[in-house]
Structure 1
Amino acid sequence: MKKILVADDDVHIRTLLRHVLTREGYLVLEAGDGREAAALMKEQTVDLAVVDVMMPHMDGLELCSYIRETYDIPVILLTARQQLSDKEQGYLRGTDDYVTKPFEPEELLFRIKALFRRYSIASDDRIRLNSLVIDRKNYEISDGNDVLLLPVKEFELLAQLAQYPGRLFSRSELIELVWGADYEGDERTVDVHIKRLRQRFSDYQNDFTIRTVRGIGYKVDMVNT
């Protein structure tokens, strides 16, 4: 289940968003100011933050900068300000999206889902599968608490599938992409490695699954995206 942080000093806004987001299956964490939000993020894994600009102690722009420097999650700034210069400041601080009050809760929900889709697709070096982050540069996988190290070919196979969630790869494609065109082994090598990956990540079935398409190959499906 994805966790969304709502940081807003208006309790009515927090209550509204908690109702809307909980109904959609998200777990909502609430903070009344930026400082409280930053402290909360140190204690719990957050998948997306909805941040009000005008907050005491640490305003939303400061909080957005802190999140961008410290975490790899999408941020939506929520504010009554509508001037272009205010939006420019938000984007300069690293926000992914900007919603002005008053807003339709359904529109905010659409934007949240769109950001989750975008963040599930790989950047050059990092691929996100819900709570798991695959770091292709350092050959590491993190769940926010622990770092998982895999044999090289298992890592590369998972990264290849995860980079394109929902796309079906044939065994021959995977052999060429992961092992190389000059590989002389059997395509059953793919099956063996997929089996090992499923065993290793049996505790992460709420994040992703590796599906077998009989007679063709495999694909990664995101869960609750």
Structure 2
Amino acid sequence: MLLVKGIKILLVDDEPNILEFLEMGLENEGFQVFTAQNGMSAVTMVKEHQPHVVILDVMMPGMDGFEVCRMLKKLHNAAIIMLTAKDEVGDRVKGLTLGADDYMVKPFSFEELLARIHARIRNHYPHLLSEVAIGPFRIDDRKLEISYNKQVLDLSPTEYALLKYVVTNHSLVLSKSMILDHVWGYDFGGDDNIVEVYIRSLRDKLNDREHQIIRTRRGAGYWVEIQG
């Protein structure tokens, strides 16, 4: 699990049922949760509570999520995850251009939202995290170490970045292009087969000969099996 004591999340959605469901789930995960049902309330809550993460619905009456996102980024550097009922490229581009950090299409699983929240916290507020424990993995950014079953792995900087990425996003299937962008950078001009080379090396170090830890979904990408 991620150690999240003191981390504040603001939920912004005009549907009470969604707010109640997400609030209950996130509080059970240890977050301090605030809610707002419209854009102006969201702006007020951000000023008052300065949340670390904002989960922001796009389709709201009055001030929509895009306008709220624009205003929030001027007030406070929270990580913003936008929610929409439409899987439109234009909407995603608009939200990201205005400063959103991630984008999810309704309906979505709570587990995926939680994984994306964890990723945003790690990227924005690494100083708040004492340690991340996910299944048999422990990730310590202060020491740049990853342990598996209490054994510290001997990893190069690139192996560390890659394993951290796939483990912390273990509920998602990550394509080669996503891995390249995150680990090697958007301007990487080499062969994408380098991902396979590094995955093979990580499997060797994890003694994962049967590919039961780092799994391959043919034609889609890689994901990590976390039991329990």
TM-score range, shorter chain: 0.5 to 0.7
For the residue of structure 2 that corresponds to 1:58, the secondary structure is: coil
Residues 50 and 76 in structure 2, CA contact (< 8 A), matched pair in contact too: no
Structure 1 gap segments, 5+ residues each: 122-128, 132-163, 169-225
Percent identical residues: 37
Task: Tell me which residue corresponds to 1:130.
Answer: 128
TM-score (norm 2): 0.54
TM-score (norm: length of structure 1): 0.54
1:167, 1:51 → 2: CA distance? 34
Q: Is the 8 A contact 2:47 2:75 kept in 1?
A: no
- Deviations along 1:87-114, one digit per CA (max 9) or x if unpaired, are 1111111100000000001100000001
Partner of 2:143: 167
Alignment of 1:3-22 (within 5 A): 3-22=8-27
SS at match of 1:29: strand
Q: Which of structure 1's runs of 4+ aligned residues deviate more than 4 A?
A: none
Larger Rg: 1
CA deviation vs aligned residue, 1:186-223 (integer Å, no higher than 9, x gap):
xxxxxxxxxxxxxxxxxxxxxxxxxxxxxxxxxxxxxx
Which segments of 5 or more consecutive residues in structure 2 lack a partner in the other structure? 1-5, 130-139, 145-228
How do 1:1-225 and structure 2 match up within 5 A?
1-121=6-126, 129-130=127-128, 165-167=141-143
Task: Return closer, same or farther for 1:67/1:130 CA change in 2, 3 Å cut-off.
Answer: farther
Query: How far 1:86 moved relative to its partner?
Result: 1.1
Residues of 2 paired with 1:50 and 1:84: CA distance?
A: 19
- Partners of 1:99 and 1:28 lie apart in 2 by 19
Counterpart residue type for residue 67 of structure 2: E
* RMSD (CA atoms): 1.8
